[in-house]
Amino acid sequence: MDFTTTKEVENYYYESHRVSSNDLTMSLYCGTACRRKFFWCYRLLSTYVTKTRYLFELKEDDDACKKAQQTGAFYLFHNLAPLLQKSEHQYLAPQYSLLELERLLGKFGQDSQILEDSVLIGCSEQQEAWFALDLGLNSSSSINASLQKAEMETALQGSFIKLTKALFELNVKDASLLSTAQALLRWHDTHQFCSRSGQPTKKNVSGSKRVCPSNNIIYYPQVAPVVITLVSDGTRCLLVRQSSFPKGMYSALAGFCDIGESLEETVRREIAEEVGLEVDRLHYSASQHWPFPNSTLMIACHATVKPGQTELQVNLKELEAAAWFSRDEVATVLRRNNLSNQQQSGAVPFWLPPKLAIAHQLIKEWVEKPTCSPLPA
């Protein structure tokens, strides 16, 4: 199109971009409606937010938590050992309703007041609250407790099995719930008195805190931070074993964070203390709650040392052994399916932590993704 004056250009531009007030109103309305629809769809689909808000309410509101117990499900423990039932090649953790639990307690002459010792450990997407209750911690006599334990196992058609033995034969959901439950039950059992006044503390209904009635000090369940680090020189990774490990098992370096340390400082110190190496680079990988020995937060990292500085100086007060392994050696062990039988026959020189442990994931990550973006050490 040819224009002879500036005015013609301006008129054409105006006409081609002109929008009626009705068109503009409709456009704005549709845009707002679409945004609102997206927002509410997200809110309806976000079960995680709904569950989190619901659990927060149960932790803060004793009446709401008591109400949730009426329709909730309970996992049972005895002296911190969960009740489990064997199903083919794994353990299952049965759930019991409040009514079933009250009937069980009545059968063994127990007062339902023991239900006050239960702790909230989660909920389903349908907001069915899940609780854990230990039937053995408050027993006055270990002899009576053991008799009662055997009777309950018969009645419940299951066994109270130590979590250290059963953890790796549970599905992911049950393993997470029972780990949380054991950690909370243990914490309440060992924090029944105020460290300031010496007076008994009182648990809230959900078990999210304890309060000293004499001075109103509030105690919250705590976890101990632990760094677990896989050290590499670029082509090899460093695996270690402690005397407490099962025979033949090697894992990554691990140690508790000291007060005042950052994550990076803890990684550097632990590696220097245990194997005499200095970290060149490190980066964070993932984290995992670990119920042993007393509830820890495992913070997994990768660390690299300079290729020319790989001579090990093993601290025998901390470790039984430490050695460098090639990527092929580690990959071969990861591919093994039946480690126990091959270990006994001598076919496997070493083996790694089970899949559920974050150490296994850390080692697998190194084999599959040898290069990662580092953080400053």
Tokens of 130: 């899940």
Distance in angstroms (rounded) separating the CA atoms of residues 75 and 163: 13
- Residue 215 is predicted with a pLDDT of 96
- Residue 7 is predicted with a pLDDT of 44
Kindly report the CATH number that applies to the domain delimited by 224-376: 3.90.79.10
- Residue 44 is predicted with a pLDDT of 52
Query: What residue ranges do the domains of the chain occupy?
Result: 6-60, 66-219, 224-376
pLDDT exceeds cutoff 50 at 5: no
Distance in angstroms (rounded) separating the CA atoms of residues 57 and 325: 50
- Residue 333 is predicted with a pLDDT of 92
* C-beta separation of 62 from 211 below 8 A: no
Distance in angstroms (rounded) separating the CA atoms of residues 278 and 270: 10
User: Could you tell me what percent of the chain has a pLDDT over 90?
Assistant: 66
pLDDT exceeds cutoff 60 at 368: yes
Residue with more model confidence, 146 or 295? 295
pLDDT exceeds cutoff 60 at 21: no
Residue 108's H or E segment, with its range, is: none
Pick from 15-24, 108-117, 325-334: least confident: 15-24
Catalogue the long-range contacts made by 169-174 (C-beta closer than 8 Å, 24 or more residues apart). Answer: 169/89, 169/90, 169/91, 170/84, 170/90, 170/91, 170/92, 170/93, 171/90, 171/92, 172/356, 174/91, 174/92, 174/93
Q: Tens digit of pLDDT for each residue in 296-315?
A: 999 999 999 987 899 999 99
- Residue 24 is predicted with a pLDDT of 42
- Residue 138 is predicted with a pLDDT of 67
- Residue 20 is predicted with a pLDDT of 45
- Residue 4 is predicted with a pLDDT of 45
pTM of the model: 0.80
- Most distant CA atoms of the chain, gap in Å: 108
- Residue 196 is predicted with a pLDDT of 95
| 52-83 burial: b if 16+ Cβ within 10 Å, else e | eeebeebbeeeeebeebbeebbbbbbbbbbbb
Residue 144 makes CB contacts below 8 A (sequence gap 6+) with none
| Residue 356: CA count within 13 A, CB half-sphere | 16
- Residue 45 is predicted with a pLDDT of 54
Query: Residue 371's pLDDT band (boundaries 50, 70, 90)?
Result: low
Task: With H, G, I as helix, E, B as strand and everything else as coil, classify residue 224.
Answer: strand
* Look-up of token digits 């309970």: 74
- Residue 265 is predicted with a pLDDT of 97
- Interior CA angle at 178 toward 173 and 181, to 5°? 130
pLDDT exceeds cutoff 50 at 158: yes
pLDDT exceeds cutoff 50 at 14: no
- Omega prior to 200 cis, within 30 of 0: no
Q: Tens digit of pLDDT for each residue in 247-265?
A: 999 999 999 999 999 999 9
| Residue 136: CA count within 13 A, CB half-sphere | 24
Quick check: do 66-219 and 224-376 share a fold?
Answer: yes
Q: Tens digit of pLDDT for each residue in 40-64?
A: 444 555 789 999 999 999 999 999 9
Catalogue the long-range contacts made by 52-56 (C-beta closer than 8 Å, 24 or more residues apart). Answer: 54/123, 54/127, 55/120, 55/122, 55/123
- Residue 19 is predicted with a pLDDT of 44
Residue with more model confidence, 176 or 19? 176
| Residue 333: CA count within 13 A, CB half-sphere | 25
* Look-up of token digits 């007041």: 113
Q: What is the mean pLDDT of the chain?
A: 84
Task: With H, G, I as helix, E, B as strand and everything else as coil, classify residue 255.
Answer: strand
The CB density around residue 131, as the number of other CB atoms within 10 Å, is: 28
Q: Tens digit of pLDDT for each residue in 70-126?
A: 999 999 999 999 999 998 889 999 999 999 999 988 888 877 888 999 999 999 999
- Residue 46 is predicted with a pLDDT of 76
The CB density around residue 349, as the number of other CB atoms within 10 Å, is: 12
CATH 3.90.79 fits 66-219, yes or no: yes
Residue 255 makes CB contacts below 8 A (sequence gap 6+) with 226, 227, 266, 269, 270, 273, 274
Query: Residue 18's pLDDT band (boundaries 50, 70, 90)?
Result: very low
pLDDT exceeds cutoff 70 at 29: no
